[in-house]
Amino acid sequence: MPLANFPELTLSHSAMSVFEAAESSGRLHLAGSVDDLVRLSIPDPLLGLGEANSKGFYTVGYDVPGKGFVPEVEVCQARNGIAANYVEPYMRRRDPDCMVVGDGVHTDKPTFDERFGQPFGELRSETIEWLKTQPIAAFFFRTGEPKRPLNAVAIAPANAGFFALGLAMLQGIIPLEEIRAAGADYHHGAVVYVVPSFRHTHFRGKQVVVHNRRFEDDFNLHELFSYNLYPGPSAKKGVYGMLLTLGERADEPWTTAHCSTVEVVTPYENTITIMHEGASGGGKSEMLEQMHREADGTLLLGENLVNGDIRKLTLARGCDLHPVTDDMALCHPELESAYKTDGKLTLTDAESAWFIRVNHIGKYGVDPHLESITIDPPGPLLFLNIDAKPGATALIWQHTMDAPDTPCPNPRVVMPRSYLPNVVNHPVTVDIRSFGVRCPPCTSEHPTYGIMGLFHVLPPTLAWLWRLVAPRGHGNPSIVDQGGMQSEGVGSFWPFATGRRVDQANILLDQVMESHETLFVLIPNQHIGAWRVGFAPQWIAREYLARRGAAPFRQGDLIPSRCPLLGYNKHTLMVEGQTIGTWFLDVSQQPEVGPEAYDMGATMLTEFFHRQLQQFLVEDLQPFGRRVIEACLDGAAVEDYEAIVT
């Protein structure tokens, strides 16, 4: 649809200048539906964007001075969607250091000036001028508050149609007829600019994403400049940063939680809603999955890394799962007032599609539910880092290889939530709020922080501290590995936020303490001491906690954990008539670990918390929050966290 059909359209000056330049050369491709962007992902040769080769692959790349044509992505049309594979293994996962802030508004994040030694304004102008020379794909979307959403426009090179497709699926796309009908009443508060070639010309091949908050302008505009084509930092998490900024600046501040949410319906027809937070790789998507069973129908609880012992659990019937959110949840005050929930958090999904990691699906039959949907979906999907062939069915267990015998650890599929059976399309109220942590193995020979039992119950004050620190943990598959234990901080969404830690910490503190009727739990994955467990702990915890309901634990049901940061744990656990022994609930009791190695791991964890929490002791932290952090730094016992009240 030509730009002339929108005579009253009002955009920011820079966005409109790109639109007009592309329109004047006949190279503006305005999309009003996902199908428009599917067609643009493998463009018709008549569009002048190149064409697929004889094997059916379309190469997305750019001319770079001194390097010639640099290929970025190989894209093909599969029977079940679009498949995109990055040429460089580095581009197949998010670089945790990609984000910088290009403006002068308050921030604790690295600024463009600090990292690159010059103000962002000059590069911003150069970016806009480059886009004016390109065929452009653009579309409109909205995100954010239920009643006052943030309107946004996305502008990308037209040959990167697959990238625009991913963003449109994740955030939704506004039909062009609606934009035309709005006329002069349409205003946008955000814009996404995609300029992949600058990764090579300006940033030495690194992923860089610049947030530029122009709050002094008449448009009150949040600009996002994506200088790479991996949607993780550039589309999905970039928009996440916009939402966090929007909530931080509200008259009644709110946040967008980094979590999955699921309504769990037990075999006895009781329903419990679980919200599962955590850093990347913390098990958010896995909380929405059915248990991965062995060939005999059992659940593998764990394998002992020292002696090879195996422990299995028999669950004849698991709970039914009604997914609500996969990664981003709006926690807006309007939801609280509309649902009149006292002492519990109400949330709704912030996304139209989910960015599902499938590295754990290495063969057919691991997750029949997800495999079935992706093989024969009701509409197109977007596959990333999947070894797909043109015209064939893309299979989520066939991963792109980073190197011979080394599959990419971060294969993804973008799944519209409307494709999912039993998906919940309304706000929900949270009964149980869990936090997931990737843990390394811990043994007496090699002590580590992998000392968490199958699940721990936390007082709200301690639950808040876990969200401030948000350990990224062991063997994260979603990001470029930095080694060791890292922190994603304040709710595990700090890598995407643009402002100050203390503001987000205060918002989270109010949210957690107002959720006094919520049960807070901590769940490890990958390892429990000397046992390799994968995601079995959260599946078992989900089944157990849903069956027992949201009622508080009775006095004597829980014992203080040996490490105070771990709150309380059960001594033993009964699930459908089967007892899970204390080894899986208190790692110090494992003979392969023992109290001494456990205490060494507890010291590592405590020292990590102390280092991370020091940065929150600033002037604007709420006094109650300061008391909680100082109690931790003073070596508080779990009973001390219980005793601290507002």
Q: Does the pLDDT at position 218 exceed 70?
A: no
CA distance 241 to 264: 30
The pLDDT value given to residue 185? 84
**CATH for 3-38+93-248?**
3.40.449.10
Residue percentage of the chain with pLDDT more than 90: 80
Q: What is the mean pLDDT of residues 474-486?
A: 60
Average pLDDT over residues 632-642: 96
Q: Provide CB contacts within 8 A for 554, sequence distance 6+.
A: none
Q: Where do the structural domains in the chain lie, given as residue ranges?
A: 3-38+93-248, 255-345+430-643
Would you state the structure tokens that stand for residue 539, as one six-digit string? 């599946």
For 436-457, write each residue's pLDDT tens digit.
999 999 999 999 999 999 999 9
Q: Which pTM value belongs to this model?
A: 0.93
> SS3 string of 528-587?
ECCEEEECHHHHHHHHHHHHHCCCCCCCCCCEECCCHHHCEECCCEEECCEEECHHHCCH
Which of 313, 314, 411 is CA-nearest to residue 355? 411
Average pLDDT, the chain: 93
**pLDDT tens-place string over residues 285-300:** 899 998 988 889 899 9
The percent of residues in the chain predicted with pLDDT above 70, rounded, is 96
- Dist. CA 570–CA 579, nearest whole Å: 12
Pairing between strand 531-534 and 68-78? unpaired
* pLDDT level of residue 219 (50, 70, 90 thresholds): low
Say yes or no to pLDDT of 147 above 90. Answer: no
343-381 pLDDT, tens digit per residue, is 899 999 999 999 999 998 999 988 898 999 999 999 999
Mean pLDDT of 319-347: 87
Closest to 471 in 3D by CA, of 481, 484, 462: 484
186-195 pLDDT per residue, tens: 889 999 999 9
Contacts of 610 (CB under 8 A, 6+ apart): 632, 633
Classified by CATH at the fold level, domain 255-345+430-643 comes out as: Phosphoenolpyruvate Carboxykinase; domain 3 (3.90.228)
Residue 616: the pLDDT is 97
Coil, strand or helix at 376: coil
Q: With 80 as the cut, is the pLDDT of residue 165 above it? A: yes
DSSP letters, 455-497, are: -EEE-HHHHHHHHHH-B--SS-SSB----S--B--GGGTGGG-
Tell me the one-letter amino acid at 341.
T
Indicate if the pLDDT at residue 579 is higher than 80: yes
